[in-house]
Amino acid sequence: MNTSRACSEVWVEGISAYLPHHYLCHDDLAVRTGTDPEKYARGLGCTSMAVLHPMQDSVTMAAEAGLSLLTSYGVDPASVGQLIVGTESGVDWAKPVAAYVHEMIGLSPRCRTYDVQHACYGASAALSSVGAWIASGMAAGRKALVIATDVARYDDGSPGEATQGAGAVAMLVGDSHTGVLRPDLGMEAVYSSQVMDFWRPGHRSTAVVKGKYSINCYLAALAQTYQVHREAGGEGIDELDYLLFHLPFPRMSEKALGKLMEAECGQVDEETFSKVLREKVNPGVEAARIVGNIYSGSLYLALASLLENRGARCTGRRVGLFSYGSGCCAEFFTATIGDSNECWKGRTGVERTSTSSTRIGVETYAAFRRETSRLNSDDSFKLGHMPCADSVPPDARYVYLGYRNQKRVYAPGPAGRIARVGSQVGRVSRSVPQPVGPTT
C-alpha cells in the first residue's frame, strides 16, 4: 500500500445528522411527571426531546445519517476506507453497529468497520483515530466515515427522563484541504479517570446515573483538560470565537462556560458572562434544546447547530470543543471552521428539527416505549403484527422489525425505494415492511 502521502491537515469534509421524526414537548412531559414546567424550561434549558420510533434504532439512524452524507456530498462509497461508529446504545454484545451500517449504505468490502464505545466520548475517540490514520499517509487518499449514533433512555419518571433524546451524526474525514472543520492535530488535551457517574449494566436498556455527581465529574474533567490545553499554549476563551460542549442537557453549557471563565479569570461579572454565553456558546446549543441528549453525537450536533445558525458568519473562525464520556474520558480540542459555508449549507440535517417533525403526546410516547421493549425481546419478529407501522417516519429508508432466530431483522422503510441492501433494491409498503438481508 502507498504510504507516501503523509499530510499535515486533516479535515472533517462533511457533516450530516439524522434526527428522529417525532418529538415530545417538555410541557407535556411536565404534566405527566407532575413537575413545574419551568424546571425543564429554565432549570434544564429544554423545550422538547426527540423520540425515536420503535421501528428505528441506533443502526437505522446511523445508516440514515451515513446515506445522507454520502448523497449530499457526492461521495463515492468505494473511497471510504474506514467506517467507525461511536455508540453506547449498540444492539449486540459482539456484532458492531458498523457491520450492519456498512451493508446498508453500500460501502466496499475493503473498508474496515468497527464500533468505539466510551459513553458519549466514542465518536471523539474515533475522530482522533482516523485523524492519525489520514495524517500518517496510511489512508493513501481514502476517506473515513465516523458516525455517532445513540438513543438516550432513562427510567420512566426518573430525573434523567427529561434529558432524553436520540440522533446520529455522520462525519466524513479526509485530506482534501477543504471542508467543514480542520481540527488542530496533536493538540488535544485529554483526561481520564475511573468514576461511576453514569453507566448501563449489560442487562439494562436504560442508563443508571448519579445525576449531581455526574455533573461534578463532567466539570472536573473540563477543568483538567482546559488546564492542559492552556499549559500547552492553546488559545483562551478570548481568542476562541466559539465554544462547543457535550450537552447532556442544554443548561450544562452555562455550567461549563462558568467553569472555564472561573479557570481563566476567577470571579466573572454577570454581564461579561451573558455576553460570552450569547455570542460564543448559544449558537451551538439551539439544536439540543429541541432534540435532547444524543450522547456520542451531542458535541457534533452542537457543531452542526453552530454551522446552520451562523452560516457564512462563522467561516474561518476558531472553535474550542469539549467532549465528555462518563466513566470517564474527556478531551478539549481546537479547530478552524472551513472558509465556505457552501460546504454545509442545507446539508447538516439540523433544519429537519424545525421543518418536518411531528409532535406526539404522552400516550404515544408511552406506547413507543412499550413497543420498543417488545421489539427488543426474543422472537419479537411477527410479520403483519406491527402496531406502530402506520406512524413510521415517511423519510425512513430502513426500519427494524424485531428478532427472528436470534437475529435482528431490518427492512427498507417508506423512503427505502432508493436504499440499497447489498445487491437488493427494496420496495416497501407502508404498513407491512418486508425483511431484507440474511434473516433466516
Instruction: Enumerate the active-site residues.
Output: 88, 120, 246
Residue 66: closest CA among 169, 175, 180, 141: 169
Q: Which x/- pattern, by CB under 6 A, does the window 84-123 give for ligand CAA?
A: ------------------------------------x---
Q: Which helix (H) or strand (E) holds 18?
A: strand 11-18
Locate the DSSP E strands across 372-427. Answer: 398-404, 407-412, 420-421, 424-425
Interatomic CA distance for residues 201 and 345, integer angstroms: 40
Which range in 177-185, 206-214, 228-236, 359-367 contacts ligand CAA by CB under 6 A?
206-214
Q: Which helix (H) or strand (E) holds 98?
A: helix 97-104
Q: Which x/- pattern, by CB under 6 A, does the window 401-430 give for ligand CAA?
A: ------------------------------
Locate the DSSP E strands across 326-397. Answer: 329-337, 358-360
Which range in 8-16, 156-164, 266-274, 380-388 contacts ligand CAA by CB under 6 A?
156-164
Q: How far is the CB of 210 from ligand CAA (least distance, A)?
A: 8
Phi, psi dihedral angles at 15 (to 5 degrees): -145, 135
Which range in 2-10, 159-167, 234-242, 400-408 contacts ligand CAA by CB under 6 A?
159-167
Nearest residue (CB) to ligand CAA, 246 versus 397: 246
Closest CB to ligand CAA: residue number: 43
At 400, list the grid cell.
427494524
Which member of 100, 198, 245, 400 binds ligand CAA (CB under 6 A)?
198
Q: How far is the CB of 208 from ligand CAA (least distance, A)?
A: 10
Non-local (6+) Cβ contacts of 352 within 8 A are 17, 19
At 381, list the grid cell.
419478529
Q: Which x/- pattern, by CB under 6 A, does the window 16-55 give for ligand CAA?
A: --------------------x-xx--xxx-----------
At 358, list the grid cell.
411531528
Interatomic CA distance for residues 162 and 156, integer angstroms: 10
Count other Cβ atoms within 10 Å, centred on residue 267. Answer: 6
Q: How far is the CB of 213 from ligand CAA (least distance, A)?
A: 9
Which member of 160, 165, 292, 416 binds ligand CAA (CB under 6 A)?
160
Query: Chain centroid to CA 197: how far?
Result: 20
Q: Which residues bind ligand CAA (CB under 6 A)?
A: 36, 38-39, 42-44, 120, 159-160, 162-163, 197-198, 209, 211-212, 214-215, 218, 246, 248-249, 293, 295, 324, 326
